[in-house]
Amino acid sequence: MTTAPDTRFRRLREKGSKDFQLACDIIDEAKVCHVGFSVEEQPYVLPMAMARDGDHLLLHGSIASRLMKNLDSGLRCCVTITHIDGLVLARSAFNSSMHYRSVMIFGVAESVTAFDQKERGLNLLTDHLLPGRRADIRPSSRKEINATMLLSLPLETFTVKVGKAPPDDPAKDLESRAWAGVVPLQTKAGKPVPAPDLAEGTAIPPYVRKLR
Amino acid sequence: MTTAPDTRFRRLREKGSKDFQLACDIIDEAKVCHVGFSVEEQPYVLPMAMARDGDHLLLHGSIASRLMKNLDSGLRCCVTITHIDGLVLARSAFNSSMHYRSVMIFGVAESVTAFDQKERGLNLLTDHLLPGRRADIRPSSRKEINATMLLSLPLETFTVKVGKAPPDDPAKDLESRAWAGVVPLQTKAGKPVPAPDLAEGTAIPPYVRKLR
Question: What does the pLDDT look like over A166-212, one tens digit per residue?
Answer: 999 999 999 999 999 999 999 999 999 999 999 999 999 999 999 98
Half-sphere exposure (CA, 13 Å, Cβ side) for A37? 19
Nearest chain A Cα distance for residue B169, angstroms: 9
pLDDT surpassing 70 at residue A51? yes
pLDDT at B187: 97
- Residue of chain B nearest A187, judged by CA positions: B187
pLDDT at A132: 97
- Nearest Cβ partner of A184 from B173, B186, B190? B190
Nearest chain A Cα distance for residue B159, angstroms: 11
Report, as an integer, the average pLDDT of A3-21: 62
Helices and strands counted in chain A (H then E):
5, 12
| Cβ separation B32–A82 shorter than 8 A | yes
pLDDT at B9: 47
pLDDT at A16: 57
B106 touches chain A (CB under 8 A): yes
| Cβ separation A190–B180 shorter than 8 A | no
- Residue of chain B nearest A41, judged by CA positions: B2
B:4-43 residues touching chain A, CB 8 A cutoff: 4-6, 10-11, 31-32, 34-43
pLDDT at B7: 65
What ipTM was estimated for this complex?
A: 0.93
Q: Which residues of A touch B39 (CB under 8 A)?
A: 6
Those residues of chain B that have pLDDT short of 50 are 1-2, 9-10
Per residue, what are the HEC states of chain B?
CCCCCCCCCCCCHHHEECCHHHHHHHHHCCCEEEEEEEECCEEEEEEEECEEECCEEEEEEECCCHHHHHHCCCCEEEEEEEEEEEEEECCCCCCCEEEEEEEEEEEECEECCCHHHHHHHHHHHHHHHCCCCHHHCCCCCHHHHHCEEEEEEECCEEEEEEECCCCCCCHHHCCCCCCCEEEEEEEEECCCEECCCCCCCCCCCHHHHCCC
pLDDT at A184: 98
- Nearest Cβ partner of A32 from B4, B84, B126? B84
Q: Which residues of A touch B191 (CB under 8 A)?
A: 184
pLDDT band at A2, cuts 50/70/90?
very low
Q: Which residues of B touch A87 (CB under 8 A)?
A: 31, 129-130
Report, as an integer, the average pLDDT of A73-97: 98
| Cβ separation B82–A6 shorter than 8 A | no
Report, as an integer, the average pLDDT of A123-139: 98
Q: Provide the number of CB pairs (under 8 Å) joining chain A to chain B.
A: 307
- Residue of chain B nearest A208, judged by CA positions: B183
pLDDT 10s digits, A103-129: 999 999 999 999 999 999 999 999 999
Q: What is the pTM of this model?
A: 0.93
| Cβ separation B190–A205 shorter than 8 A | no
A200 touches chain B (CB under 8 A): no
B:174-193 residues touching chain A, CB 8 A cutoff: 174, 176-193
pLDDT band at A4, cuts 50/70/90?
low
**Alpha carbon B176 to chain centroid distance?**
38
Q: Which residues of B touch A186 (CB under 8 A)?
A: 187-188, 190
